[in-house]
Amino acid sequence: MNPGESIPARIAAGLNRISLLLRHHQWHEAGGQALTPTQAQILALLAAYPPAGLRLTEIARLLAVTPPTASDAVAALEAKKLVRKAADRGDSRAVRIRLTAQGRRAARAASQWPDYLLSAVGSLPPALQEHLLAALMAMIRSLQQQGRIPVARMCVNCSFFEPDRDPGAPEPHFCHFVGAPFGLRSFRIDCPDFRPASAGAQQANQYVLIASYPASKGGIP
């Protein structure tokens, strides 16, 4: 190890190791269904959104791929009868991509995390799991602000989220969608009930969350 290497560089290297492992797993799983990783990602994405489906431009934006790449992958999925195109009720000139019944089954398989990854995370002490989740949310938020990834459907970006409503409580935050308090361990990074807050509210939520995270736990970087 290079003793002069910065901590961010070492963290990035660690994340790269994990990403290589996940990519290998994705290729292995997708190969069994005759799907490419991009096709598998599209199936998982469509399963995570309402039954109305998504437009091709939305799929490309959410996966951070080019429209031609998304179009080729959707065409292949349509040929496999895993998705179908339907008219957009709000715009007769546009179409939406939807899962077929067969596609929903394939999407469930594509969305499963490898057991060994869940086991590795689950073996960490609960406090360290919270640290990791908080750090991931902060990193996603930073990448979002840089325009590297689309807005993530996580709590700090949601209009239903009220941070630190009950300071000092075990579950200090509040979700107005379910009408219940919750703590960091219940934060979601991709919530199907997500409704985007304004950019200002998202930034304010992040600041409040950072300030409210107990200093004894090291804070959120």
Q: How confident is the model at residue 1 (pLDDT cuts 50, 70, 90)?
A: low
The four Cα atoms 173, 177, 178, 182 give a dihedral, to 10 degrees, of -10
Q: What is the pLDDT of residue 56?
A: 92
Domain extents in the chain: 7-110, 124-217
Among 29-33, 109-113, 130-134, 166-170, the range scoring the smallest mean pLDDT is 29-33
31/110: higher pLDDT: 110
Closest-CA residue to 74 (of 48, 52, 94, 46)? 46
Please report, as a single letter, which amino acid is at residue 182. Answer: F
Size (the chain), residues: 221
Select the more confidently predicted residue: 165 or 146: 165
What pLDDT digit, counting tens, does each position of 103-124 carry? 888 887 777 777 788 888 889 9
DSSP class of 150: P
What band does 73 get if pLDDT is binned at 50, 70 and 90?
A: very high
Task: Report the C-alpha gap between 24 and 163 in whole angstroms.
Answer: 38
pLDDT, position 181: 94
**Which CATH number is associated with domain 7-110?**
1.10.10.10
DSSP assignments along 41-106, one per residue: HHHHHHHHS-TT-B-HHHHHHHHT--HHHHHHHHHHHHHTTSEEEEEETTEEEEEEEEE-HHHHHH
Query: Which strands form 180-182's sheet, in the order they lie side by side?
Result: 161-162, 173-175, 180-182
Nearest CA-CA partner of 151 in 219, 201, 108: 201
Mean pLDDT to the nearest integer, 135-164 = 86
Provide mean pLDDT across the span 73-84.
93
- The secondary structure element, H or E, covering residue 30 is helix 7-32
Question: Between the CA of residue 26 and those of 48, 60, 82, 136, what are the distances in Å?
Answer: 18, 19, 18, 21
13 pLDDT more than 50: yes
Q: Is pLDDT above 50 for 21? A: yes
Judged against a pLDDT cut of 60, whether residue 74 lies above it is answered with yes
The amino acid at 15? L
Write down the pLDDT at residue 22: 74
Q: Is the pLDDT of residue 171 over 80?
A: yes
Highest mean pLDDT among 129-138, 145-154, 171-180: 171-180
